[in-house]
Chain A
Amino acid sequence: MKKIFVDYRKCVACKSCETACAVAHHPNGSLFGLVGDIRTQVNVRVLGVEHEAFPVSCRHCDPAACLTACPAGAIARDAASGAVVQNPEKCQACAMCAMVCPFDAISFKHTHRALPGREVAYKCDLCHQRLAQGHAPACVQACHSGALVFKVSEPQREKRAVASLKVYLLGEGGEPPLFALHRELRRKTFARRRMGKS
């Protein structure tokens, strides 16, 4: 199965993934259609933790704790993609799924897919409908810096392990020097702000 891999060190915090996700899941299907629409659903959020940024979304676990926990049977697995998909029409908004999610990737809101006047759970659906048409998930397609990639697990794991080992064993690769400097300066700025030393 293909999964969305996150390399947070490559995340530039531009939030292109958030915007692309919002557009892909909006009934209007355009950026300008969703501006000011409070029912817009964004399934990935770039969270700032000190100087680091991390795009958080559903990991589509297998087995999935949310799927087992949901008393309404509103969460199911998409056979073709393996995605854990939430059905807003069955959702009772009991929040069992959110409580058991190890990644805090489930939010609640009156989305466009919710029944009238109802708050429902919503989360990443792996863009399984786009996948069926041969496209990558919207967030992955939008990511310029390689922080999000959509790959089959094992070869991707091996590729990343080799890349890391090249840095470790051969001193090759790694970040471009000025980007490394940028990250280091960001880290220092945040550290000083937290510790009260500027």
Chain B
Amino acid sequence: MCPRADHRSVDPAAAAMLKISDRDGFETAWSRLEAQQPQCGYGQLGTCCRNCSMGPCRIDPLEEGPRRGVCGANADTMVARNLARMAAAGSSAHSDHGRKVALLLKEVASGRNTDYTIINPDKLMVVAGRLGIATAGRETLAVANDVADVAIGCFGAQGEETIPFVLGYMPKKRLELLKNLEVTLSELTGARIGLLPRGIDREVVDIMHRTHFGCDADPLTLIAQTLRCSFGDGWGGSLIATECQDILFGSPTVRTIKANLGVLDAEMVNVLVHGHEPVLSEKVVEWARSPEMTAAAKAVGAKGVNVAGLCCTGNEILMRQGVNVAGNLLHSELAIMTGAVEAMVVDVQCIFPSLADLSSCFHTRFITTSEQTNIPGSLHIQFEEHEANAIARRIIQTAIDAYPNRNAAKVYIPQETEEAMVGFTVEQVVGALGGKLDPLVEVIANGTIKGVVGIVGCNNAKVQQDFFHLSLTRELIKRDILVLGTGCWAIAAAKAGLMNLGAQQLAGPGLKAVCTQLCIPPVLHMGSCVDCSRMLVLTGALADHLGVDTSALPVVGSAPEWTTEKAVAIGSYFIGSGLPVHLWPVPPVLGSPVVTKILTESAKDLLGGYFFVEEDPEATADRMEAIIMEKRAGLGL
């Protein structure tokens, strides 16, 4: 590990906390990464198969050892199977999040849950319209019930038809292209090859089945199913999560929040919410702000209860409730080390199990709440939607009870914060444009803005924290390329001040003029990682508006510090939706020349979208600009 803290993170608040962690000997993701060196090359290359008990089998990349596993699977089969399983896991995580929100919508619509209500009936009607559900003269709850039924139906559908959310949201030309591609691939191979998802759960199960011992060995069909499953995430599960959350908790609106560890308040009871699902954290925020809890906090000598977010739970509540965000993934351990956190409340996904041990070094209560995320050493308070108020109240009370145990000698809160304008949903972007897409199309057409890049998060301890996110973003806006995105990237940009109006000064002249006119930053926060669906919807709206396929648009995607299997699913549905996607670090596919070629070259011919890998931010920006200029030329711009 590099002894210099600022070499591990470009964030000064992180560097300050890492000095403390080095001094006091706390483990972090960085130190554990170092302890894991050297990491196994078979895993990095994707050529290790553990799918049966005749294995594990490995194909060495140097062609010295055996070329096939015990069953006869070669490197191409192994790599494709492993990639498919990553996408299945990633799609499952996103989609299961969506399922819970859809089920909650059903409970609310049927009156069985009264702890929640429908905050945004207007959005409900829009979603219903997309799905072909009648709205005229109907009660809100009746429409909500139908929307919930359709959403829930998307998960368990057994027919061969494409799920309604895909049909209702995917741009027309892309839908046609994928239908035609299914036919072409089937004619070429003689096999039935599907790309459009039949059921969100089914496509995951399909992958687990076809990657089971003795099934699919063809990299092409394995990758086709990887795309199909990922479409079930992007245009299915994730989209359902976004839309149903907007209905239940309100559509985000543009607002200003503060980002970074400085949002922790030494005089307040600090509660961090971390994970991905806003269902519980919405209630935590509501109760933290209640007079009852404020009074209870004052009774123990604090000024009140201060809720701050981490990761995508943070993104969800900052967009809807204006709650400040303490940081992204690699901040989760650092936040506890401030010694000023009374409780860290987690739901699902991206929660380091190390947080339990680390919390035990402080007075911090580490509270798990999901049946799917149990961590030894945590305090588990099981969340139940129908008792949401009581549970949220108990959680806040637990935090307040911990406050008197805070050791002032251990408290250090870095003062860094930046203001960020957030909440740029599709609706808000269109709203900022005066209610229609024409102004955006116009500035792209006349070259004021060259194109758009969508970036999605994660931090990865292998990459200096936020370095790639920020360097790439700065480089792109300088070149008059609008940057928008989600997840831990969005928090990185917020922490660095790229989402406030001052950042307009960093943009090229064209982008700067547009942003000044609209009074928006050149870097737009679109939400949490399930809200990558918002990027799809915006791309689709642009494509339909222009009457072209998405692959014709000067739009590129990127996951520059990716870590999770969810990112594999996101990357896959982006390329399947016609967008070139940059990745760093390199995904575990280099063990197979065939899979590498399909993902980076053949996909371009078949889908318009494809992956490329680049380790340098400036070179990445060069490549993206070249792609954007190529697409502009294609559109005759």
Contact = CB atoms under 8 A, between A and B. Distances in A.
Interface of A: 10-15, 46-48, 52-53, 144-146, 175-179, 181-182, 185-186, 188-189, 192-198
Contacts of B517: none
A48 B41 contact: no
A145 B65 contact: yes
Given A182-B586, A196-B2, A198-B617, A48 B61 contact: no
Contacts of A186: 44
B7 A12 contact: no
A182 B44 contact: yes
Contact of A13 (B41, B62, B464, B586): B41
Contacts of B58: 14, 144
Contact of B467 (A14, A145, A179, A197): A197
Given A12-B40, A48-B37, A178-B590, A194 B7 contact: yes
Contacts of B467: 197-198
Given A178-B596, A196-B7, A144 B65 contact: yes
B615 A196 contact: no
Given A189-B585, A194-B7, A198-B463, A146 B64 contact: yes
A195 B4 CA distance: 10
A186 B41 CA distance: 10
A196 B62 contact: no
Given A12-B61, A178-B591, A185-B615, A193 B464 contact: yes
A12 B596 contact: no
Contacts of B468: 198
B590 A10 contact: no
Interface string B116-149: 0000000000000000000000000000000000
Contacts of B61: 12, 145, 176, 178-179, 182
Contacts of A189: 462-463, 585, 615
B44 A175 contact: no
Contacts of A12: 40-42, 45, 60-62
Contact of A196 (B6, B39, B40, B65): B6
Given A14-B58, A178-B590, A193 B2 contact: yes
A193 B62 contact: no
Q: What size tier do the contact residues of chain B reach? A: 35 or more
A181 B587 CA distance: 12
B110 interface: no
Contacts of A178: 61, 590-591, 593, 596
Main secondary structure of the interface of B (DSSP, over half): loop
Given A175-B62, A198-B463, A198-B471, A182 B2 contact: no
28 contacts: A12-B41, A13-B40, A13-B41, A14-B41, A14-B58, A46-B38, A47-B38, A53-B38, A144-B60, A144-B66, A145-B61, A146-B64, A146-B65, A176-B63, A178-B61, A179-B45, A181-B590, A182-B44, A182-B45, A185-B586, A186-B44, A188-B616, A189-B463, A193-B463, A195-B7, A196-B2, A196-B6, A197-B467
Contacts of B586: 182, 185
Given A14-B40, A48-B37, A182-B41, A196 B464 contact: yes
A6 to B, nearest CB: 14
Contact of B464 (A52, A179, A182, A197): A197
B613 interface: yes
A192 B464 contact: yes
Contacts of B462: 189, 193
A53 B42 CA distance: 13
Interface in B45-100: 45, 58, 60-66
A176 B39 CA distance: 20
B613 A10 contact: no
B62 A15 contact: no
Contacts of A53: 38, 41
A144 B64 contact: yes
Nearest to A184: B615
Given A194-B7, A197-B464, A145 B60 contact: yes
A181 B45 CA distance: 11
Interface string B539-553: 000000000000000
A52 B39 CA distance: 10
B464 A198 contact: yes
Contact of B42 (A14, A47, A175, A176): A14
A143 B415 CA distance: 52
A120 B63 CA distance: 40
B613 A176 contact: no
Nearest to B592: A178
Contacts of A46: 38
A12 B44 CA distance: 9
Contacts of B62: 10, 12, 145-146, 175-176, 179
Interface in B583-637: 585-586, 590-591, 593, 596, 613, 615-617
A182 B596 CA distance: 12
A31 B458 CA distance: 36
Nearest to A14: B40
A124 to B, nearest CB: 19
A178 B153 CA distance: 43
A57 to B, nearest CB: 16
Nearest to B468: A198
